[in-house]
């Protein structure tokens, strides 16, 4: 190997000072420099305030989006300590917290018994990624102020500017994200309020106030739930039909750990268990969720046998049977949470599993004994689910033999691509035969496959899996994707790395999109979570500029075009349907990867997506109308 003769000595070793590592590699600390990372800044500061609430010192948090693009988070906790730090006598504790990574009240000591900050680096990371940050502390009767600029440089050292107003204590942080680091610095109110609402649910009685002061976006919301996670379960089940009105709830505490559980069944077929550790959503579950599921299965089976609802010779109810239609929140707080898994969202502390098991075995058993009517309804629903599960397994076996769920055969209507490299392969799910024919001619046969489906597929929100598997369109979908269904779905076996829903840009097309996305969310969830599901966005209009045809995606694009071409008022043509496009039009606007516009579907928050599916696909017409009216202007739901 050739060498360049360069030196490698001590002087070649770079030492990053202070907050430099954060600015150099922001993704390591906040995940990304896109919208997710931007909103993570707000979450980090709010989490610090919530830690004060969990410690019993804070009852109210105010989050304000300022007119100039900044964000202010104010709490009425104890206020960050302002005295000199024992290890660094010339610097205040507050300065250390905002300028040093891995500094805070979460690492041993008696600052916090439990805390939500995942890495304990929140305050300093937010400072590092802000163009300006103002820290105000009310403590010991005095109002202290400190200001930072350019990612953590001290502009104004900590100083007392007067007395604290009305004996107030607490911390106020105002920051402006650095536009040179983030792809965009405009906060999205709904992303923030969704998180604030969850934090209020998880901290019973904590009042969180939100205000948006940006021109054109002005709004105020208050989140406060005296019922805590019981209110959370009611909220999640509001769009569903509850099996009974009561919500079961219980809690148990030990030294350094505690658990709180609330649960209620609905008449639907989907399981919705959401678990949290110190306020952090553990979307991959973990020990607390394992303990809950195991004990729930034991408790219901014990009750069913004691009442002779399950006969001695009969099989036990399976955990899946019992959890059908269950909405549950499992929230634990513990001294030293150990997070693991790909997204650091799985709780690994073993002792918490036995705590949740003991609490459920004891307290849920008591609840069932004290509420026999509801307990019997749970057992009866579980028995029906058990019968459906057995029928579904038989239907699955039949489907495997017929159409090759295991990959042995593909549906006759699938027009497959020739490449066997799944990373470059795309599957277009096209509504209607005429559109399917155009799409076939418009595609690249090497990498693009077409699956035409007829009309509106079965609404999977209102059907059990055994009925679902008898539906020809759904059978074709399962076979084409090739990775199974439900809990047996193996994302490693998918035959295409892009599954693209291609439907008309009208009301019927929107309905078909919603049905398909609901199906993927419910029955092929890892496909959505992995970012493999897309929605094609065919244009609504075409127009001629000279001899060249220009396609416009929607009314916004049309308005922007007219603003640029004020004299161009004639001959806009509205494109009614995919089937009416020539194959070359379809290729140029919707299928060609170099020209098309795709919307990637993501599950930002499992609870939210679950709620959206239930509202849009459920039976409550009034709730659905309200949802659509509320979100009509929200681009995220435009294609859903």
Distance of CA 617 to CAs 148, 230, 516, Å? 49, 24, 11
Strand-pair category, 533-536 with 280-281:
unpaired
Distance of CA 590 to CAs 8, 242, 419, 541, 595, Å? 53, 42, 21, 13, 7
Residue 31 gets the label, from left (phi > 0), alpha (psi -120 to 50) or beta, of left
DSSP string, 552-602: E-SHHHHHHHHHH-TT--S--EE---GGGS-HHHHIIIII-TTT--EEE--
Q: Quote the CA–CA distance of 89 and 63 in Å, as a whole number.
A: 33
Task: Find, among 468, 531, 539, 475, the residue nearest to 502 by Cα.
Answer: 539
Residue 475 corresponds to which tokens in the numbers above? 């059978």
Residue 431 a catalytic site member: yes
Task: Find, among 549, 579, 578, 547, the residue nearest to 561 by Cα.
Answer: 549
Residue 592 a catalytic site member: no
Residue 103 corresponds to which tokens in the numbers above? 């500094």
Q: Quote the CA–CA distance of 41 and 375 in Å, as a whole number.
A: 44
Instruction: Yes or no: say if 250 and 228 are a contact pair by the CB < 8 Å rule.
Output: no
Q: State the catalytic residue, choosing from 424, 506, 554, 619.
A: 506
Q: How far apart are the first and last CA of the chain?
A: 56
Q: State the catalytic residue, choosing from 95, 178, 426, 504.
A: 504
Instruction: Yes or no: say if 266 and 327 are a contact pair by the CB < 8 Å rule.
Output: yes
DSSP string, 262-283: EEEEBSSS--EEEEEETTEE-T
Q: Quote the CA–CA distance of 177 and 186 in Å, as a whole number.
A: 9
Q: Quote the CA–CA distance of 598 and 609 in Å, as a whole number.
A: 20
Task: Fill in the DSSP letter of residue 541.
Answer: E
Q: State the catalytic residue, choosing from 508, 554, 592, 620.
A: 508
Residue 506 a catalytic site member: yes
- What residues are labeled active site? 431, 504, 506, 508
């Amino acid at each position: 190997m050739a060498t360049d003769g360069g030196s490698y000595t001590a002087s070649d070793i770079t030492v990053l000072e202070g907050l430099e590592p954060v600015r150099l590699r922001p993704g390591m600390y906040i995940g990304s420099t896109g919208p997710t990372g931007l909103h993570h800044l707000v979450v980090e500061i709010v989490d610090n305030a919530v830690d004060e609430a969990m410690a019993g010192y804070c009852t109210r948090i105010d989050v304000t989006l300022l007119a100039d693009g900044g964000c202010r988070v104010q709490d009425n906790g104890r206020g960050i300590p302002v005295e000199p730090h024992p290890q660094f006598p010339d610097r205040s504790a507050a300065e250390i917290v905002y300028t040093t990574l891995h500094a805070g009240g979460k690492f041993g000591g008696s600052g916090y018994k439990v805390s939500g900050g995942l890495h304990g680096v929140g305050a300093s990371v937010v400072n590092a990624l802000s163009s300006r940050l103002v820290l105000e502390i009310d403590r010991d009767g005095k109002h202290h102020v400190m200001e930072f600029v350019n990612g953590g440089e001290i502009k104004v050292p900590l100083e007392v500017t007067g007395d604290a107003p009305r004996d107030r204590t607490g911390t106020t942080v105002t920051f402006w994200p650095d536009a040179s680091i983030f792809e965009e610095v405009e906060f999205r109110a709904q992303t923030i309020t969704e998180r604030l609402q969850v934090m209020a649910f998880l901290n019973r009685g904590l009042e969180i106030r939100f205000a948006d002061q940006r021109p054109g976006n002005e709004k105020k919301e208050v989140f406060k739930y005296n019922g805590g996670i019981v209110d959370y379960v009611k909220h999640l089940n509001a769009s569903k039909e509850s099996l009974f009105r009561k919500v079961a709830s219980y809690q148990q505490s030990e030294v350094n750990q505690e658990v709180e559980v609330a649960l209620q069944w609905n008449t639907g077929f989907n399981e919705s268990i959401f678990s949290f550790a110190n306020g952090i959503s553990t979307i991959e579950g973990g020990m607390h969720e394992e303990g809950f599921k195991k004990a729930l299965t034991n408790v219901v089976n014990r009750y069913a046998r004691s009442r002779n609802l399950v006969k001695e010779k009969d099989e036990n109810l399976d955990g899946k049977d019992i959890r059908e239609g269950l909405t549950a929140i499992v929230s634990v707080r513990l001294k030293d949470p150990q997070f693991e898994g790909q997204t650091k969202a799985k709780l690994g502390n073993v002792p918490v599993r036995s705590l949740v098991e003991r609490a459920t075995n004891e307290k849920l058993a008591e609840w069932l004994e004290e509420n026999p009517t509801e307990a019997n309804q749970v057992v009866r629903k579980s028995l029906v689910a058990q019968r459906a599960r057995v029928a579904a397994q038989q239907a699955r076996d039949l489907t495997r033999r017929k159409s090759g769920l295991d990959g042995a055969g593909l549906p006759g209507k699938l027009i497959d691509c020739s490449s066997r490299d799944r990373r470059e392969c795309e599957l277009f799910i096209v509504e209607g035969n005429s559109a399917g024919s155009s799409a076939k001619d418009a595609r690249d046969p090497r990498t693009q496959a077409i699956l035409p489906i007829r009309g509106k597929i079965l609404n999977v929100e209102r059907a059990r899996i055994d009925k679902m598997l008898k539906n020809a369109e759904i059978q074709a979908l399962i076979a084409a994707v090739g990775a199974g269904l439900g809990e047996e779905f193996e994302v490693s076996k998918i035959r295409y790395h892009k599954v693209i829903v291609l439907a008309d840009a009208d009301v019927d097309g929107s309905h078909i999109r919603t049905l398909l996305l609901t199906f993927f969310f419910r029955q092929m969830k890892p496909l959505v979570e992995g970012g493999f599901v897309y929605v094609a966005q065919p244009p609504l209009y075409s127009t001629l500029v000279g001899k060249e045809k220009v396609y416009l995606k929607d009314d916004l694009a049309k308005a922007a075009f007219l603003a640029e071409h004020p004299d161009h008022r004639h001959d806009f043509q509205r494109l009614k349907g995919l089937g009416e496009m020539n194959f070359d039009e379809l290729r140029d606007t919707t299928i060609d990867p170099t020209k098309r516009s795709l919307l990637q579907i993501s599950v930002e928050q499992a609870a939210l997506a679950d709620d959206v599916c239930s509202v849009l696909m459920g039976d409550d017409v009034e709730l659905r109308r309200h949802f659509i009216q509320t979100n009509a202007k929200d681009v995220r739901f435009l294609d859903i």
